[in-house]
Amino acid sequence: MQLMIGKQECSVDEKRRFSLPPKYRPQFGADPQPSGYTHHAVLIPWYGGALGVFPMTNWDDLQSRLGRLDYITPDFLEATRCCLPRMERTHTDPEGRIMLTPEHHGWLRLGAGKSRIVVVGMGSRLEVWNADEWPQVEATGRNTVTRPAADLEYDRMLEHLMRAAMATPALPGAALP
């Protein structure tokens, strides 16, 4: 699979939709439909206030790893209760647009009506950033916008869950996320 690199600024319309940039669409596969092609993805509130967008092939590997974790321990139970409900399987419409859930729209701190985002290729996934916050992230590697304590706690739990998943062996033939 070709790495997703580069960035592109996009708009989010009043219906919370943004166009998946055409240069990234091949990594998301193409499911032919009578009205055009659909590209499948998983949206995940990601570290620092970004939204992670995973192609289904990468998500399937990560999901396999997550599914083999020991959920009996309180740390994993807390992390999964906090993180998994916020993840969303989705697909583009025939015009290549992805609709953000109200929660994902809020996670990006986008205002009502039209907004601007930056879609950034991060190798095997995309990150979607609020366009007003992206210059700081690009310059320093981190988002310095003040975020609620609950969002920072979510980041901590997501890190715990992702580190554990990546330490779990991949199934033979599965791609790394």
3-state secondary structure (DSSP) of residue 17:
strand
Which pLDDT score, from 0 to 100, does residue 176 have? 39
Residue 176 in domain:
no
Mean pLDDT of successive 10-residue segments in the chain (177 residues)? 91 96 91 79 94 89 77 78 90 93 96 94 96 95 89 89 81 47
Strand partners, 10: 117
Residue 172 in domain:
no
DSSP characters for 23-70? TTGGGG--EEETTEEE-EEEEEE-GGG-EEEEEHHHHHHHHHHHHTS-
Tokens (6 digits) for 133 = 């916050």
State the total domains in the chain: 1
What is d(CA 35, CA 55) in angstroms, rounded to the nearest whole number? 21
Residue 146 in domain:
yes
Residue 77 in domain:
yes
Which pLDDT score, from 0 to 100, does residue 16 have? 96
Range of the domain at 51: 7-167
CATH number of the CATH domain containing 28: 3.40.1550.20
Which pLDDT score, from 0 to 100, does residue 51 have? 97
